Amino acid sequence: MKVTALIPDDLVKEVMKLTEGKNITDSLIIALKSYVSGKKVEYLIDEVSKEPLQFNEAFVEYGIRKINRKR
């Protein structure tokens, strides 16, 4: 997708430096992917903190080995 955006030169230069992209487009793609994945992690952390994971006390390694060996 082509996008026209007014981005300050110093911000673009900093993004290019930090991402080590081949060009502006590559640098922006790397930065946006990193931003999106970070936001997904933040969302998951929030969800887990609202309802923490609970493990079955009987769920131990030897029980899992038995299940895996039956396959």
pLDDT of residue 57: 66
Mean pLDDT in residue range 10-30:
95
Provide the pLDDT for residue 58: 66
- Cα dihedral value 32, 35, 37, 41, nearest 10: -170
Model confidence at 60, pLDDT cuts 50, 70, 90, reads confident
Q: What average pLDDT does range 16-26 have in this prediction?
A: 95
Inter-CA distances, 68 with 36, 57, 60, Å:
35, 18, 13
Lowest-pLDDT choice from 1-5, 17-21, 23-27, 54-58: 54-58
pLDDT of residue 39: 97
**What's the pTM?**
0.66
Burial class (CB in 10 A: 0-12, 13-18, 19+), 21: middle
